[in-house]
Chains A and B, each alone.
Chain A
């Protein structure tokens, strides 16, 4: 496959996944900010995770719910806004229009057309949750249409690769930001606030029910970290993402991806053979920082091996 086409498939999927992750983060943060309205910390979380705090503060000064919502959801000048993610997904899909299935194209194109309507109408904190739910639904539809209709060839593989690299990156980042935030809490407020923050984190990755099912016990940082880093059966965990990434990399034709495969296998081996005790002994923050660096490196290697080959 042409490297440029592979790149478009990969970024189409990454952008759609990023839109979903941003929507999940925003949803939880807006709810949390209602819980203790005096603090702006919760509103800063989605900005921190998406790496856009500085740009936001330069343009808006104070993070009000309305401003954060607009910035992350609709702002056409924020390259990482949901609006721009969907626009990028659509532009990339347009280039590979003849490679993807009709269902998939109509899915991406339809999403973009509706996104423009949301953009024209604007959002306030009352309409936010229905918008964020819509984003999640469209992302589910996108993945479902692809999974249900695409031939299992490199077209499919590169789009799956984009989805899971982006998801792994997001899970690692959100866990990392929350970990830092929670360790900053005042000791006396710790227990009650911690509970809500961990619960919110779980909800943002659809992990609240999973947690209850698996642990049937109170929420502890160790278990949340275990669920989101090491559990193979948790679809948004790092280990599950890397399981998919390795599977997909193994199926892509040709030998160009040797270094990408090696890197991904190393990360997977670490996730497979670590215990949560090891991770806490090394320090959760340090582990997550190095995982995030590894994911970035893997993304670069994928680019180098496949997407800008020769």
Chain B
């Protein structure tokens, strides 16, 4: 297990080295920033807010009566990653997602990894994310997680650590694209002075990926994006991706199954659908196979899927691989399937179903972060150092009720990045979510979504908890000073 030095209240800053010298990748930006009057930057920031609101009003999240939209705050100071760092991140993400896809294929087929004793079988077979219905089904190119969002943080040792793998319906890529568009609009001069890798071709790459995993017999596959509907919080992204790819955005009611195929209802009659990029959880996909009360899904979809006559992206049953109880095994998966050493570190994780780990964690609750195995979105977790004694004791009781439902990790020191806040420019904690596409090949656009915890000292970057986003720049070449 890779040991992390404990939180010491010194953080890795993306722009400044200890001693306040600027890191090479930020040098040009820092020179520009130093010359930019604060008032002008403030104007630019509010221009961005206005523009996003306008885009928001025209096509964003919509749910309440007033038609007003919740916007995720956008910060105008970019997160810059050097070319060589990106190389490591890219290779690490590709390696990781490749191994995870091999793992998913394995556990729904031969289960070699279980036979080899690397993961206890009950951990997989009794996992809520494991779909028995997927056993023995052969998927095109044996890909399960076609779109993966890998959450990565930088610790104060300067290294990158994977926090979690999102293999079900990861979202946020529309912000990556919109943030870039916004920055180019606000600060064109920065793009002239920096050699920044473009991200705008993501929708193309996504469409190619989806088409490359269509059922084998199809020459010119029809791809659709399946959304739960306009009241879903990520509806903006669903509509955005469908329109960027030039494919139909469908709801469950637009699709039906007939004679063993999936069709969509169009004004010129039924049209066959070959690949469904679904942004709907497994449980809602097919009321005949899963949740019978689901009005969002397509009755009979699973039977067509099992016959290999439609491809569902991501595959059904990927949830077992991004479960927090399986996460500790990912480095072993990489060694087992690829015979390689992991490029990106895992955060050391205590599994509370193990008595030794449980004992250690209960003794060190005030230092650790404890999470529910199936939790997401920053809800229901305990951040030891930031909690009161009473909160810790209350959480202890929850753990003792069902230890297997929890994991614990050291309190990581997320790196900081200068961020525009009310008092001026100050460091705030950030993470990174690159989007890995797996089809004919495994690839990612050079970039990702950088989330920032806008509250001072906060380590929680989730947008549901007051997080914002930044544009993420990957430099084409390293800048040497």
Contacts and interface: CB of A to CB of B under 8 A. Distances in A.
Interface of A: 1-6, 90, 94-95, 97-98, 102, 105-106, 109, 112-113, 116, 154, 158, 252-257, 306-310
A223 to B, nearest CB: 40
Contacts of B106: none
Contact of B266 (A106, A113, A309): A309
Interface in B384-434: none
A1 B265 CA distance: 8
Interface in B49-73: 57-59, 62, 66-67
Contacts of A253: 267-268
Contacts of B270: 309-310
B267 A6 contact: yes
Nearest 5 A/B pairs, CB to CB: A254-B268, A3-B265, A98-B243, A306-B267, A310-B270
Given A2-B250, A3-B254, A113-B67, A154 B58 contact: no
Contacts of B250: 2, 4
B133 to A, nearest CB: 27
28 contacts: A1-B268, A2-B265, A2-B266, A3-B265, A3-B266, A3-B267, A4-B250, A4-B254, A4-B265, A5-B248, A6-B267, A97-B58, A97-B239, A98-B59, A98-B243, A98-B249, A106-B58, A109-B57, A109-B58, A158-B267, A252-B267, A253-B268, A256-B267, A257-B267, A309-B265, A309-B266, A310-B258, A310-B263
Interface in B223-278: 230, 239, 242-243, 248-251, 253-254, 256, 258, 263-270
B269 A254 contact: yes
Contacts of B258: 310
A307 B258 CA distance: 19
A97 B62 CA distance: 12
Given A256-B269, A309-B270, A4 B239 contact: no
Contacts of A1: 266-268
B207 to A, nearest CB: 16
A94 B230 contact: yes
B249, B251, B263, B270, most chain A CB atoms within 10 A: B249
A106 B248 CA distance: 22
Nearest to B239: A98
Nearest to B248: A2
A256 B268 contact: yes
Contacts of A309: 265-267, 269-270
Contacts of B58: 97, 102, 105-106, 109
Nearest to A6: B267
Given A4-B251, A105-B58, A113-B67, A310 B267 contact: no
Interface string B302-345: 00000000000000000000000000000000000000000000
Given A3-B254, A97-B239, A98-B239, A254 B267 contact: yes
Nearest to A105: B58
A1, A105, A254, A309, most chain B CB atoms within 10 A: A309
Nearest to A310: B270
Interface residues of B, number: 26
B230 A95 contact: yes
Interface in B104-142: none
Contacts of A116: 66
Contacts, number: 72
B214 to A, nearest CB: 20
A83 B270 CA distance: 35
Contacts of B248: 2, 5
A257 B266 CA distance: 12
A3 B59 CA distance: 21
Nearest to B224: A2
Contacts of B256: 310
A252 B267 CA distance: 9
A254 B270 CA distance: 11
A211 to B, nearest CB: 39
Given A112-B67, A310-B269, A2 B264 contact: yes
B59 A97 contact: yes
Given A2-B250, A256-B268, A310-B269, A109 B67 contact: yes
Nearest to B242: A98
B109 to A, nearest CB: 36
Contact of A2 (B62, B239, B254): B254
Interface string B443-464: 0000000000000000000000
A105 B269 CA distance: 27
A256 B270 CA distance: 10
A6 B266 CA distance: 8
Nearest to B236: A97
A154 B268 CA distance: 11
B252 to A, nearest CB: 11
B470 to A, nearest CB: 26
Contacts of A95: 230
Nearest to A3: B265
B139 to A, nearest CB: 27
Contacts of A255: 268-269
A3 B19 CA distance: 63
A310 to B, nearest CB: 4
Contacts of B242: 98
Contacts of A3: 254, 265-267
A173 to B, nearest CB: 27
Given A1-B268, A309-B265, 20 more contacts: A2-B254, A2-B264, A2-B265, A3-B267, A5-B248, A94-B62, A95-B230, A98-B239, A98-B249, A105-B58, A105-B59, A106-B58, A109-B58, A154-B267, A253-B267, A253-B268, A255-B269, A256-B268, A306-B267, A310-B265
A36 to B, nearest CB: 42
Contacts of B269: 254-256, 309-310
B57, B264, B269, most chain A CB atoms within 10 A: B269
Contacts of B59: 97-98, 105
Nearest to A110: B57
B301 to A, nearest CB: 16
A106 B66 CA distance: 15
A255 B269 CA distance: 8
B434 to A, nearest CB: 26
Contacts of A306: 267
Contacts of A109: 57-58, 67
A97 B227 CA distance: 15
Nearest to B243: A98
Nearest to B270: A310
A257 B243 CA distance: 27
A215 B57 CA distance: 49
Nearest to B68: A113
Nearest to B244: A98
A293 B402 CA distance: 67
A85 B224 CA distance: 31
A36 B268 CA distance: 53
B51 to A, nearest CB: 14
